[in-house]
Amino acid sequence: MMQVPVLQARNLVKRYGSVTALDHADFELLPGEILAVIGDNGAGKSTLIKALVGAIIPDQGEILLNGRVVHFRSPLEARKAGIETVFQNLALSPSLSIADNLFLGREKRSAGAWGRLFRALDERGMRAEARRALSGLGITTVQNINQTVETLSGGQRQCIAVARAAAFASRAIIMDEPTAALGVKESRRVLELILEIRSKGLPVVLISHNMPHVFEIADRIHIHRLGTRACVVRPTEYSMSDAVAIMTGATKAPC
């Protein structure tokens, strides 16, 4: 019954001067699940996530990928290991096309001599793959893959950023507040997208302040408090007010 976690952290400590941002924190992401990470402002959620993807290096503790200890020194290394992050600012370039954005930073060179000698890009191949990535996730509101990202709505942009992560992630996707800037309808679209990704077998870490969203789609909820994991609960067993109570310290963590 014991599953090996896809991504695991044990005993992480990170101190900034006299402030302890991570205080012996643990973390476990199981295969194929949506794990929500909630916590009050300043609880250390971002520090935890940054440590997991190599954006900061913890002072103590270890991070395991599929049961093996890893030492990411930058988000790029985590990305190479198959962990993609959807940042809150999306990291899209507005003046470039959707296809260009999907492959931004990892463009494919064309196979022929032009690609080898003159670094020509395989534009047709990238466009085809971009189209496949979008339709594979059921993103159909975007018709033209050559459209620039600045012509898209906030929700469509979020979908592009999620699709990019899904296209390249082989182990896990981490999403930082994916619905924070979106309207009701657009949020719904993004939540469906997250479920779609889980159905493809990829586990998702969802950092969010939106309790209804968290309780609707998460399989388990990691509640972060005072720099450490207070508790992991199942949304079927606890209510939102229970979670908020644990998060703020009003109730003692039950587990």
240 is a contact residue toward another protein (CB under 8 A): yes
C-alpha span between 177 and 234 (Å, rounded): 20
Residues 6 or more apart whose Cβ sits within 8 Å of residue 34: 194, 195, 198, 203, 204, 206, 217, 218, 219
Q: Which two tokens stand for residue 15?
A: 């101190």
132 is a contact residue toward another protein (CB under 8 A): no
**Residue 169 near residue 82, CB atoms below 8 Å:** yes
- Going through 79-169 in order, the beta strands assigned E by DSSP cover 83-86
C-beta closer to another protein: residue 25 or 90: 90
109 is a contact residue toward another protein (CB under 8 A): yes
Output the smallest distance, CB 245 to another protein, in A: 9
> What dihedral do alpha carbons 184, 155, 214, 65 form, nearest 10°?
180
199 is a contact residue toward another protein (CB under 8 A): no
76 is a contact residue toward another protein (CB under 8 A): yes
Number of shown-chain residues binding another protein (CB under 8 A): 48
C-alpha span between 42 and 248 (Å, rounded): 11
The candidate with the shortest Cα–Cα distance to 198, out of 35, 18, 61, is: 35
Half-sphere exposure of 74 (CA within 13 A, CB side): 3
C-beta closer to another protein: residue 30 or 87: 87
Residue of 43, 133, 172, 217 that binds another protein (CB under 8 A)? 217
184 is a contact residue toward another protein (CB under 8 A): yes
Output the smallest distance, CB 21 to another protein, in A: 21
C-beta closer to another protein: residue 162 or 211: 211
150 is a contact residue toward another protein (CB under 8 A): yes
C-alpha span between 185 and 155 (Å, rounded): 9
**Among the residue ranges 6-14, 17-25, 61-69, 102-110, the one whose residues contact another protein (CB under 8 A):** 102-110
Q: Which residues form the interface with another protein (CB under 8 A)?
A: 75-76, 79, 87, 89-96, 100-101, 104-107, 109, 118-121, 123, 141, 148, 150-151, 153, 156, 184-185, 188, 211-212, 215-217, 235-242, 251, 254
